[in-house]
Amino acid sequence: MRSLRTGLSLASLVTGLALLLAAPAAHAADTPLRDLAAAKGKVIGTAVTGSKLTGAYGDIAGAQFSSLTPGNAMKWGTVEPAQGTFDWTEADQIVAFAQAHNQQVRGHTLVWHNQNPSWLTNGSWTPAQLSGLLQNHISTEVGRYKGKIASWDVVNEPFNEDGTYRPTLWYDGLGADYIANALTWAHAADPAAKLYINDYNVEGVNAKSTALYNLVKSLKARGVPIDGVGLQAHLILGQVPSTLQQNIQRFADLGVDVAITELDIRMALPADSAKLAQQKADFTSVVAACVAVTRCVNVTVWGFTDSDSWVPGTFPGYGAATPYDENYAPKPAYYGISGALGGTTPTPPPPAGACQAAYSVTSQWNTGFTGQVTISCSGASLSSWKANWTFGAGQQITQAWNATCTQSGTVVSCANASYNGSVPDGGSVTFGFNGSWSGSNPVPVVTLG
């Protein structure tokens, strides 16, 4: 900046600024999702696998997203495989990566019925023992990462589809208050972390989301620390609930934040352009619903690449659920997200264009003829050209205009003149020649080279 100031006149600085200002508009689609989200006051996240955070996977995770959720690394079964034996390797790796990339971490998850260690699920515990185990687990894990986790999915998937409590180790052993207790213990371990209850099939207004709504309302009334609800959003192509925004709004109106925590949109394989276009529209409407509600603070995709998605393993025949394909190329869904965050979709590159040459005989007499070649371009252009062909019946060029032609045996090569090398997209150039023939005068195939 200093050398810019001293080295440039005011006029050229102004010109330079104008160019700088113009550039982002032209390349807005290249703006990382995290910057687009920030401009809307939102956080955009992805679930990650710690061991993959290098190379292209790491580059995209770091550049595009402002929040990371460990897909599995912070679950009880991962962090305490044997009672009292802890393995924080992957969780630490993800937290360190997030800190190095100025990203939030969503901790996932403290109380769940899945992915618990077998020593826990196979044990037989009194309610007091179970409660002590849970409190100790929460205090240990939340305490370890105190100050480093923006939000915790404290309780995961507590409800059945009909809105009753899911019978689990926790509910069966401790009753519904395991939820309030878990939140209270988490708050004690890290008072600054935002505490969430997270569930699936609660994106639209339905029995399950209404049960969640009523729970949050009563927790708030009791003074239990609850800061947000997570709507997982494991969706199916073409089935974004029409009441999504309304549902987000009703939670916001309760005085809690809302996050879309595990967004993916699966389709029957193979993917095709129509399905990918529908998926783009679906990602657009989910992100737009969050953008429309101030207290919807975060949209997190459950894996950003189709190569790192839980979907094909769980729903055979389904997949392609994320915004990047298996080779890390952004899919239309990516542009659905960026568009809903205010980015512009890039103008697709023009279809691979072509220039071609057409040969014709314009007049012919007993031993001679006049011919011409027209070179025309569509979706492409040339700055110089050479037209080549092979005469099939002993013809011989005697004279050419608007090109320099040489003939060696049957092979003819004609190069542009100094003034007509340029063939613009949509334009054409013609050159002509006289030749001799006898017997027959067949039209050759001309190639450009």
| Residues annotated as catalytic (active site), given as ranges | 157, 262
Dihedral angle of Cα 95, 96, 98, 104, to the nearest 10 degrees: 50
- Residue 224 CB, nearest approach to ligand G2I (Å): 22
- Counting contacts by CB under 6 A, is residue 71 touching ligand G2I? yes
Minimum CB distance to ligand G2I, residue 69 (Å): 9
Instruction: State how far the Cα of 110 lies from the Cα of 195, in Å rounded to an integer.
Output: 11
Residue nearest to ligand G2I (CB): 310
Q: Which is nearer to ligand G2I, 190 or 262 (CB)?
A: 262
| For ligand G2I, the closer CB: 79 or 403 | 79
Contact call for residue 114 and ligand G2I (CB under 6 A): yes
- Cα Rg, the chain, nearest whole Å: 33
308 binds ligand G2I (CB under 6 A): no
Query: DSSP character for 66?
Result: S
- Selection from 271, 200, 270 nearest residue 241 by Cα: 200
SS3 257: strand
Minimum CB distance to ligand G2I smaller for 262 or for 282? 262
262-281 positions binding ligand G2I, by CB under 6 A = 262
Amino acid letter, 246: Q
Which helix (H) or strand (E) is 333 found in, with range? helix 332-340
Which residues make beta-bridge pairs with 415?
Answer: 386, 404
Nearer to ligand G2I, 90 or 338 (CB): 90
Q: How far is the CB of 304 from ligand G2I (least distance, A)?
A: 13
Q: Which amino acid is present at 21?
A: L
Nearer to ligand G2I among residue 43 and residue 74 (C-beta): 74
Give, as one character, the DSSP assignment of residue 22.
Answer: H
Q: How far apart are CB 381 and ligand G2I at their closest, in Å?
A: 49
Q: Is 51 in the site for ligand G2I (CB under 6 A)?
A: no
x-or-dash string of contact with ligand G2I, 186-205, rule CB under 6 A = --------------x-----
Q: Is 310 in the site for ligand G2I (CB under 6 A)?
A: yes
Residue 66: both structure tokens together: 């402002």
Q: 290 vs 301, which CB is nearer to ligand G2I?
A: 301
Residues in a beta bridge with 271: none
Q: Is 282 in the site for ligand G2I (CB under 6 A)?
A: no
Q: Binding to ligand G2I by residue 338, rule CB under 6 A? A: no
Q: Confirm or reject binding of residue 232 to ligand G2I (CB under 6 A).
A: yes
Contacts for 336 with CB less than 8 Å, ≥ 6 apart: 279, 280, 281, 282, 283, 284, 287, 323
Six-digit token string for 81: 């495989």
Nearest CB to ligand G2I, comparing residues 49 and 388: 49
384 binds ligand G2I (CB under 6 A): no
Binders of ligand G2I: how many residues, by CB under 6 A?
9
Locate tokens 């990602």: which residue? 283
CA angle 162-285-21, nearest 5°?
A: 150
Q: Is the preceding omega at residue 85 within 30 degrees of 0, hence cis?
A: no
- Contact positions with ligand G2I (CB under 6 A) in 125-184: 156
| Shortest distance (Å) from residue 215 CB to ligand G2I | 18
**Residue 444, beta-bridge partner list:** none
- Residue 205 phi/psi, 5-degree rounding, is -80, 115
User: In this chain, which of 32, 35, 52, 72 binds ligand G2I, going by CB under 6 A?
Assistant: 72
Residue ranges binding ligand G2I (CB under 6 A)? 71-72, 114-115, 156, 200, 232, 262, 310
